[in-house]
Structure 1
Amino acid sequence: MRVCVIGTGYVGLVTGVCLAHAGHHVICVDNNEEKVKLMQAGQSPIYEPGLSDLMQAAIASQHIQFTSDLAAGVSHGEVLFIAVGTPALPTGESDTRYIESVARGIGAHLDQDYKVIVNKSTVPIGSGDWVRMIVLDGVNERRKAANGGDNDAAPLAVDFDVVSNPEFLREGSAIYDTFNPDRIVLGSSSDRAVGIMKTLYDPIVRRELADDKSLPPVPVLVTDISSAEMVKYASNAFLATKISFINEVANICDRVGADVTQVAKGIGLDSRIGSKFLQAGLGWGGSCFPKDVSALIHTAHDYGYEAEILKAAVNVNERQRLLTVEKLQQVLKILKGKTIGLLGLTFKPDTDDMRDAPSLKMIEALNRLGAKVKAYDPIVSQSGLSSGLSGVIVEADAEFLADGCDALVLVTDWKQFQGLDFARMAKLMNNPIIIDGRNFLDRKALEQLGFQYVGIGR
């Protein structure tokens, strides 16, 4: 099938490349000319394991193109994905101006061929009808312009439907998640549009690209548009709340002498609960959980309901980000004049995403308390992204980080951190203290090397 993906951020680029790998002919559109040139040269503007290889293969097979020409993309696509950002505003609601701009642009270039316009971006509940209205506004603006501003000119013939198709991609596992989804959600009142979307996703539904091709077909849930939009928000809100819950339990464990890792294992074995998202630590961050939970709280408020559980999840998460600073104060007492080393900066491993990362709040708090802050991150240290960070010295490797530190804090659970030469690092430190903000390292091994180990809820 012919596909157009508008917006080549994290969701758009992964979606476009994976659909091209599935055999579809994809044009990705972005208004950033430099970014388009980079992608045309086969270079991914984001870090995601496996993405660059798939992208280069799709370019070589001529299944994917990159352009800044929206008209060309709209003309090419039978299915048009809107995959632009919807960042959170200070009020907590989603900023939909990029969605509006793209929808209006699509309307300005629609022809008589039937199109399926897909909201892949996470959009406020009820956006399906709104997007349709904006597309038609774009169509009417083109009609008026073509007729010298005459409002009474005959309407242009266009034929399209809007579908909500939320994404459930985890940064660092996005390729796997695309080819091995738990479910595909399609929100639409049009049987025609749903049929086209099922055809588009057929290779994925039939597990042609899955790691385990013997699994049953991927469930496809067809709903109304508003319900599909709510599925996305409710999924992320539930997972964020589950993380905040286990962090709340961890903080109680700290006070009563229990070990949250054992508690989490015990409750996770209950099939009604499950073990996923029960890892206590520094809380959630990134581009999805914070803005989606805030947007759902804001939507509830708009409709006269206060989402108290979600508000509590946010409050617990905000407090959790500074828990390691409190633990540093308990161990070192005065932090002014001390040097603190952060192992990891990104909000999770296997990504270069620093959006709403817990490390940023920690750096800010440590600076305010007069500490010198250093950091090492496998991606940030090598990619040049550190140029946008203030209040922290980004080191080139873990041993440079440890040199002269009064304590280390594990912030991001990068797998390679488990293989660091901690014996060497301990000798380079002023005080061999480590705060394990993810309960990720081998406590006994570190203590045998002379480290004072402090975990979360342990």
Structure 2
Amino acid sequence: MARIGVIGAGYVGLTTAACFAHLGHRVVCADVDEGKVTALRRAEIGAHEPRLAELVAEGLRTGRLAFTTDNGEALADAEFVYLCLPTPTGENGEADLSAVHAVLGDAEPDGCVLVVKSTVPIGTSDDIARSQRVPVVSNPEFLREGHAVDDFLRPQRIVVGADDESAARSVLALYPEAPALVTDRASAELVKYASNCFLAMKLSYVNSLAELCEQAGADIGDVTEGMRLDERIGAAFLRPGPGWGGSCFPKDTRALLSTSDGAHVDFPLLRATIDTNERQARRVVEKVREAAGPLAGTRIGLLGLTFKAGTDDLRDSPALAVAGLLADEGAVLTGYDPCVTADTGPVHVAETALDAAHDASALVVLTEWPEFAELDWPAVAAGMSRPVIVDTRNLLPADKVTESGIRLVSTGRAAD
């Protein structure tokens, strides 16, 4: 089995390190955050990700996984070094590569294959290769939050980009068997951006369709069901919502647009994808205002604060974008989320969904946690000052909700 160094113990780096150790490789994972490393040595991962804590504990117990604050320790004797560093959005929308450059400036890999797993602009791995004495491979990650371990251990595809066929094949051999693409580094980098931006485009498209359905008297559920039956379109990412967010889609769409602008390539479809998404929060607020009346001093309950169900991630959450706009109009916000316990921005976080609904003039479903569909609707209605729910996800059972005396405002369906 291989000796692997992983630089960065964030969401991608930690999953990569723990899963490689589970597959039998020996892994040293480095991170500059001393507090995080200390917690990881106790198998405390600080994130809601199914099975990840178990794999970290397993790796520590077997001795196949170790954590350090010293990048040199992760590089020492490693056959493969994975760069799993953050690339947040810069001032002009471009990806900020300062963390990547800082690591490569501090310690130069030697005698290994350097694998760039961070999401980086097209051409970055080629730039790195020109400054290194080791083979450089682009190996983008395709890990969904809430499903990261399963995605790593049972990947839909593995993409490897390199100008060294032997290095590419050696990286590919580390993974479980899966459909694989071996290509050049620039193409591998673009696969990641192209995939995320295409999914974001589908979500923006279906949200625009939902708006049209509301005006035309159509039903978005039936429209998307008809679309799903076409195998060329597929079923995924065809549910309307309050917008897309999280750690990847917002920064990746902006980064690809920045790259396109820099290459003098007009990409109006991607620009419209971003613009459409930025309108979604305002559309939700309009619906809440119509349902609850003037928002100044009005109590509004929020169900869901994370950017999607199955994670505790609040980064670029559309739920928080909606909350911010509601607060700007003077609404008093109480929210509930299974993975959020502390007050977040303008939202006071309640202990239960019923507490969030108590005395509210409107209840807004913003994150698609399955448990929200199973609430005690008579109890919800009894606790609200005005029994009306704005369901941005079309998650709730309409018949049970309305039978309880609650007015339900859905998405992509004609108003009551």
TM-score interval, smaller chain: over 0.9
- Note if 1:304 corresponds to 2:269: no
**Mapped pair 1:358 → 2:313:** no
Whether 1:119 and 2:113 are equivalent positions in the alignment is: no
Name the residue aligned to 2:187. Answer: 227
Q: 1:370 maps to what in 2?
A: 330
Amino acid at match of 2:217: G
In the aligned structure 2, how far is the partner of 1:51 from the partner of 1:105? Answer: 29
What is the CA distance between 1:233 and its match in structure 2?
A: 0.5
Aligned residues: 412
Q: How far, CA to CA, are the matches of 1:422 and 1:58 in structure 2?
A: 45
The residue number in structure 1 matching 2:288 is 328
| Equivalent pair of 1:374/1:392 in contact (CA under 8 Å) | yes
- Tell me, yes or no, if structure 1 residue 188 matches structure 2 residue 143: no
1:7-43 CA distance string (max 9 Å, x none) = 0111111111111111111111001111000000111
| Cα distance, 1:394 vs structure 2 | 0.8
Please, what is the CA RMSD of the aligned residues?
1.1
Cα offset, 1:92, TM superposition: 0.7
Q: Please identify the structure whose Cα radius of gyration is greater.
A: 1
SS in structure 2 of the partner of residue 349 of structure 1: coil
- Supply the distance in 2 between the matched residues of 1:224 and 1:255 (Cα, whole angstroms): 47
Determine if the alignment matches structure 1 residue 439 to structure 2 residue 390: no
- Contact conserved, 1:184 with 1:219, CA < 8 A, in 2? yes
Task: Give the letter aligned to residue 264 of structure 2.
Answer: G
Cα distance in 1 for partners of 2:352, 2:54 equals 26
CA distance in 1: counterparts of 2:180 and 2:324, whole angstroms: 44
Rounded to whole Å, the distance in 2 between the matches of 1:278 and 1:401 is 28
The separation in 2 between residues aligned to 1:188 and 1:93, in whole angstroms, is 23
- Does residue 1:259 correspond to 2:229, yes or no? no
> Conserved in 2, the CA contact under 8 Å of 1:27 and 1:76?
no
Q: Any gaps of 5 or more consecutive residues in structure 2?
A: none
TM (normalized to structure 1)? 0.88
CA contact (8 A) 2:242 2:319 kept: no
Deviations 1:218-256 (A, max 9, x none): 111000000000000000010000111111110000001
Give the residue type in structure 1 aligned to 2:372.
Answer: F
Q: Map 1:389-408 to 2 at 5 A.
A: 389-408=344-363
1:432 Cα deviation from its structure 2 partner: 1.0
Q: Does 2:375 match 1:420?
A: yes
1:69 aligns with 2:70: yes
The alignment status of 1:271 with 2:236, answered yes or no, reads: no
How high is the TM-score relative to the length of structure 2? 0.97
Per-residue deviation, 1:90? 2.8
Given residue 406 of structure 2, which amino acid in structure 1 is its aligned partner? F
**Residue 315 of structure 1, CA deviation:** 0.8
SS in 1 for 2:135: strand
State whether residues 344 and 414 of structure 1, in contact with CA within 8 Å, keep that contact through their aligned partners in structure 2: yes
- Partner SS, residue 170 of structure 1: coil
Superposed CA offset, 1:289-341 (max 9, x none): 11111111110100111210000011111111222211111222311121101
C-alpha separation in 2, matches of 1:394 and 1:439: 23
- Consecutive unaligned residues in structure 1, runs of 5 or more: 137-158, 206-217
Paired AA for residue 403 in structure 2 = Q
SS, match of residue 185 in structure 1: strand
- Secondary structure class of the residue paired with 2:91: coil
Contact 1:341 1:374 survives alignment (8 Å): yes
User: Residue 100 of structure 2: SS of its match in structure 1?
Assistant: helix
User: Following TM superposition, by how much is the alpha carbon of 1:363 offset from its aligned partner in structure 2, in angstroms?
Assistant: 1.5
